Structure 1
Amino acid sequence: MVVVLPLLLVLLLGGSSPTALAAADEHDEFTVLDLSSLKPHAACSGHRVTPPHNGSWVPLYHPLGPCSPSYRGTLAAPPSLADLLRQDRLRARHIHGKVSGHFRESKGSYKEPVAVEETQVHHQAAITIAMGTQSTSSQVRTGFIGPAATGDDGTSGGPPAVSQTVVLDTTSDVPWVDCVPCALAECPYYDPARSSSYAAFPCNSSACKQLGPYANGCAGNQCQYRVAYPDGSSSSGTYSSDLLTISSGHTVTDFRFGCNQNGGGGGGPSPTNGFLALGRGAQSLMAQTSSTYGNAFSYCLPQSESDKGFFQIGVPGGAAYRFAMTPMLRDPRAPAQYRALLAAVTVGGQPLNVAPEAFAAGAVLDSRTAITRLPLTVYGALRAAFRDRMAAYRRAPPRPEAELDTCYDFAGVRYVRLPRIALVFDRNAVVELDRSGILFGDCLAFTANDDDSAPTILGNTQQRTIEVLHDVGGGNIGFRRQAC
């Protein structure tokens, strides 16, 4: 206590003594967060840790941040916290609804509008892919409709033609990209007429029949798809195949995807061109590449918009000893979700006094939900423990519109001393959160489910700087701290 109290005074006054900060960060119960590290900067800082360049690796970035290829030198104004968390709430209902059976995939039950367009991609993770093969001028045919995918290796037409920025979505099944036409003077969309390897699936094809709830009829003997999202937007158009290039030397021939011709799916002046579905359904990228990459992928989300992370397909080398592993669960009510059993939560090294039954519903890992949602009993215990250890800081009014009820006034404070928070999964897979994954808008970055019956949703704020491995083939989920 002799050391801790003076240190608290230094931090409350906004002090920045390197010696004091180092002493605090070595303390078992606390870590020190520099609040300025979470603020976006106009320049991309790149990777904070050397990424694992192994061929199937690609950089990952925030589509509205300075590391995005579409960045034009001016940071986009973020949506209000209320708008952003309203979308988060809708997405959580969507995920919980699949488990309860109250959500019908083909209809998209939740239609509450999102006021700001950027809320669809803000705080999301994106990568750059390439679609199609480059055709010569003599090969370009307006309105070309090719046969269904026949096994063409996609190399005869030249190098990939169109780079696309796509958002990673681990709880959806159908990948899609925006297709021409579009209203912009310089259209960034993929044009199937300019790709020699493009093919639209006929309505009687096996791929079309496998769409299930995503099928949307037939138009001119071309299979149609539709994917509805919980914010009321949707993607629809022709179900097709073409060459997908993930990274140099790593391509997927006959890649099945939706050619979006619906402005509601992401049309207009947007920094993204589509969604790369990574769920466990038959249409997802993982299902399509399982024979090549072993049905596994991992990603690392950066700590801020000014940093880069990474995405890679396949099981990383040495995963068995470098990752904290826990069994991957499968719920027949929501087979596309990635789930694990959360067994405990610790704050400052001390486990919450919560009965194991409170965690029985398991946890869904989601790349697009911003904040983590815990069972009601677990969140109540976490909140009490966090507030107790943050008693030295001024409390701020709660943000009920954003469902954040533990907020602080950090005016004049740069360095905040936070209690360490760790999630403990089955088989004692302990995952300590990065200091950047504890606060969201100066509030505790967790909220509660309505009760203990709905599963935890592990949001992307808590996943920052952690490489999260989804090894479907091996039946495990892995976590590697300080990976990016």
Structure 2
Amino acid sequence: MIAMTPLGLLLVLLVLCSSILVAHGGDAAAGAYMVIATSTMKPKTFCSGHKVAPGDVPSPNSTWAPLHHLYGPCSPAPSSANSTAADVAASMADMVDDDQRRADYIQKRLTGATDDKQPMAFSSRTSQYEKNGQYATNGGLGSVPHLKSLSTTATTNSAPDGTSAVTQTVIIDSGSDVSWVQCKPCPLPMCHRQRDPLFDPAMSTTYAAVPCTSAACAQLGPYRRGCSANAQCQFGINYGDGSTATGTYSFDDLTLGPYDVIRGFRFGCAHADRGSAFDYDVAGSLALGGGSQSLVQQTATRYGRVFSYCLPPTASSLGFLVLGVPPERAQLIPSFVSTPLLSSSMAPTFYRVLLRAIIVAGRPLAVPPAVFSASSVIDSSTIISRLPPTAYQALRAAFRSAMTMYRAAPPVSILDTCYDFTGVRSITLPSIALVFDGGATVNLDAAGILLGSCLAFAPTASDRMPGFIGNVQQKTLEVVYDVPAKAMRFRTAAC
């Protein structure tokens, strides 16, 4: 039985790229520029906590949990040793390269040029940048649910139904459809190391493999990988960066918070996986995409296909995840801006919005509206934003013009606007605001502008290609995915 802990004990993991420079100087709404003290580059040894907003409590129609980076003082995982500047630069380049592969893959999915069955190249490296306490790749969110198994000898640390609980740390990904965890047997090196005990299906009285002849197996669609010798449905996932996971598609009960049990929740019981996406000792992934197998769709009657999150700006701060809409949060509605949420029948997994303009240092970029005709994918797992080349060139020119007082540094992978802030006590950044369809204007936090010491934007291959709103840009925003209303909502300074 899969279950989350009661909300008071539930921890949620955030695996996303944290910029070296962090925001403590206000957001873009405060003026045309913002100031960041370089002392914030130093890692903190304490967790700064979470900004509690009205409605951040469980209710029968919603559940809430804090979010944190995988490594750092807010995480239960120990931080890795410090790396050298050269290590950080090389590893950051690897991370951005992986992110570009993900972006290329999603663009092909959106245009119908590929599907999830096609084999992908993968990287199995674990870089120091990825493991460093200040940084983590693969900008996805994650939780610490419990996998429940039947205890035949003891009832210590038991769940309310009398079954024992085993903590499992998983990535939460709004750009994927099938949830999965590593299950026994899952030998190395076919599987990756995880810090939590492997889930043992044999110890769960509510677990069952999905039969090959069932409707649930047929509904896997592109994630179906045939049948096992004993007629059990097999699943397989290819992630955009080349990582993969395969195993037995399964049923079990999913408990979310103290109220709700999702009977017969469908997930993958993985017996093999590979790739850099799982270099964090995590057990698997909890999918929040738009496809029929995701947690969002499977819990539609409970949470109404609405969820939101706020990605914290640093490894020493907390954000939050909300499933459903607590009634108490209604008073926050006036503080949100809204834009239409788009979907594609060709690739229903991905959530998309229309970007209409960009404002830098209080001035709109002189970019023709037609440049923004293609939609942009927004999710928790793409790291940096991709813009139409015409828009990116205008943004880069405006940003560089405002940063002439700082020494330029060599590019890092596709990031071509980087700086050397050695010896600088404070940095003055131009504000950046994204304007979406319908006039929704979102002021980026200072932490949403830089990745390391580079401008966290890149161009797409052409103005007609789909773009991306990356998780760096989403930091400190509450991002609400309201699927029934076909709306994406934003609230600034939420965490």
Range class of TM-score, shorter chain = 0.7 to 0.9
Match of 1:249 in 2: 259
Could you tell which deviates more after superposition, 170-179 or 31-40? 31-40
| Structure 1 pair 101–422 and aligned structure 2 pair: CA distance change class (3 A) | same
Letter in 2 for 1:338: Y
| Structure 1 pair 390–470 and aligned structure 2 pair: CA distance change class (3 A) | same
Match of 1:54 in 2: 57
Task: Please point out which of 95, 113, 121 is paired with 1:111.
Answer: 121
Instruction: Provide the C-alpha distance between the structure 1 equivalents of 2:103 and 2:317, rounded to a whole number of angstroms.
Output: 27
> What is the identity percentage for the equivalent residue pairs of Structure 1 and Structure 2?
43
- SS of 2:100's equivalent? helix
- SS of 2:125's equivalent? coil
Task: Please point out which of 482, 490, 494 is paired with 1:471.
Answer: 482
Match of 2:207 in 1: 198
Task: Please point out which of 128, 146, 158 is paired with 2:143.
Answer: 128
- SS of 1:80's equivalent? helix
Instruction: Provide the C-alpha distance between the structure 2 equivalents of 1:415 and 1:434, rounded to a whole number of angstroms.
Output: 16
Instruction: Provide the C-alpha distance between the structure 1 equivalents of 2:195 and 2:106, rounded to a whole number of angstroms.
Output: 36
Match of 1:212 in 2: 221
Residue 253 of structure 1, CA deviation: 2.1
Match of 1:66 in 2: 73
Match of 2:461 in 1: 450
Residue 48 of structure 1, CA deviation: 5.0
Residue 306 of structure 1, CA deviation: 1.8
| Structure 1 pair 314–405 and aligned structure 2 pair: CA distance change class (3 A) | same
Cα displacement string for residues 233-271 of structure 1 (whole angstroms, at most 9, x for unaligned residues): 211111011122332333322111001110426899843
Task: Please point out which of 94, 99, 102 is paired with 2:113.
Answer: 102
Task: Please point out which of 289, 293, 306 is paired with 2:299.
Answer: 289
- SS of 2:392's equivalent? helix
- SS of 1:97's equivalent? helix
Match of 1:174 in 2: 178
| Structure 1 pair 349–160 and aligned structure 2 pair: CA distance change class (3 A) | farther
Instruction: Provide the C-alpha distance between the structure 2 equivalents of 1:393 and 1:448, rounded to a whole number of angstroms.
Output: 23
- SS of 1:255's equivalent? strand
Match of 1:233 in 2: 243
Residue 131 of structure 1, CA deviation: 4.3
For the pair shown, the structure with the greater C-alpha radius of gyration is 1
Match of 2:372 in 1: 359
Instruction: Provide the C-alpha distance between the structure 2 equivalents of 1:25 and 1:337, rounded to a whole number of angstroms.
Output: 28
Letter in 2 for 1:72: P
Contact 1:133 1:158 in 2 (8 A): no
Count the aligned residue pairs. 446
Contact 2:123 2:276 in 1 (8 A): no
Match of 1:43 in 2: 46
Instruction: Provide the C-alpha distance between the structure 1 equivalents of 2:92 and 2:299, rounded to a whole number of angstroms.
Output: 37
Contact 2:194 2:282 in 1 (8 A): no
Instruction: Provide the C-alpha distance between the structure 2 equivalents of 1:269 and 1:125, rounded to a whole number of angstroms.
Output: 13
Residue 92 of structure 1, CA deviation: 0.6
Contact 2:123 2:242 in 1 (8 A): yes
Residue 340 of structure 1, CA deviation: 0.9
- SS of 1:133's equivalent? strand
Letter in 2 for 1:66: P
Contact 2:167 2:196 in 1 (8 A): no
Task: Please point out which of 407, 411, 414 is paired with 1:398.
Answer: 411
- SS of 2:292's equivalent? coil
Instruction: Provide the C-alpha distance between the structure 2 equivalents of 1:307 and 1:75, rounded to a whole number of angstroms.
Output: 20
Q: Does the alignment pair 1:410 with 2:421?
A: yes
| Structure 1 pair 117–384 and aligned structure 2 pair: CA distance change class (3 A) | closer
Instruction: Provide the C-alpha distance between the structure 1 equivalents of 2:307 and 2:36, rounded to a whole number of angstroms.
Output: 30
Instruction: Provide the C-alpha distance between the structure 2 equivalents of 1:455 and 1:333, rounded to a whole number of angstroms.
Output: 14
| Structure 1 pair 25–215 and aligned structure 2 pair: CA distance change class (3 A) | closer
Contact 2:140 2:380 in 1 (8 A): yes
Letter in 2 for 1:377: T
Cα displacement string for residues 182-232 of structure 1 (whole angstroms, at most 9, x for unaligned residues): 557986221111112111111111111101111011111211100012333
Instruction: Provide the C-alpha distance between the structure 1 equivalents of 2:213 and 2:477, rounded to a whole number of angstroms.
Output: 44
Contact 2:72 2:78 in 1 (8 A): no
- SS of 1:174's equivalent? coil
1:400-439 matches, cutoff 5 A: 402-439=413-450
- SS of 1:217's equivalent? strand
Residue 391 of structure 1, CA deviation: 1.6
Instruction: Provide the C-alpha distance between the structure 2 equivalents of 1:370 and 1:25, rounded to a whole number of angstroms.
Output: 20
Match of 2:17 in 1: none
Instruction: Provide the C-alpha distance between the structure 2 equivalents of 1:25 and 1:211, rounded to a whole number of angstroms.
Output: 43
Instruction: Provide the C-alpha distance between the structure 2 equivalents of 1:324 and 1:335, rounded to a whole number of angstroms.
Output: 24
Residue 65 of structure 1, CA deviation: 3.0
Could you tell which deviates more after superposition, 259-268 or 323-332? 259-268
Contact 1:379 1:446 in 2 (8 A): yes
| Structure 1 pair 129–187 and aligned structure 2 pair: CA distance change class (3 A) | closer
Could you tell me which runs of 5 or more consecutive residues in structure 1 were left unpaired when the two chains were aligned: 1-17, 141-154
Instruction: Provide the C-alpha distance between the structure 2 equivalents of 1:85 and 1:336, rounded to a whole number of angstroms.
Output: 22
The TM-score with structure 2 as length reference comes to 0.83
Point out 4+ residue stretches in structure 1 off by more than 6 angstroms.
Answer: 24-27, 265-269
Question: Larger relative contact order (C-alpha < 8 A, sep ≥ 6)?
Answer: 2
| Structure 1 pair 410–76 and aligned structure 2 pair: CA distance change class (3 A) | closer
Contact 1:375 1:452 in 2 (8 A): yes
| Structure 1 pair 100–112 and aligned structure 2 pair: CA distance change class (3 A) | same
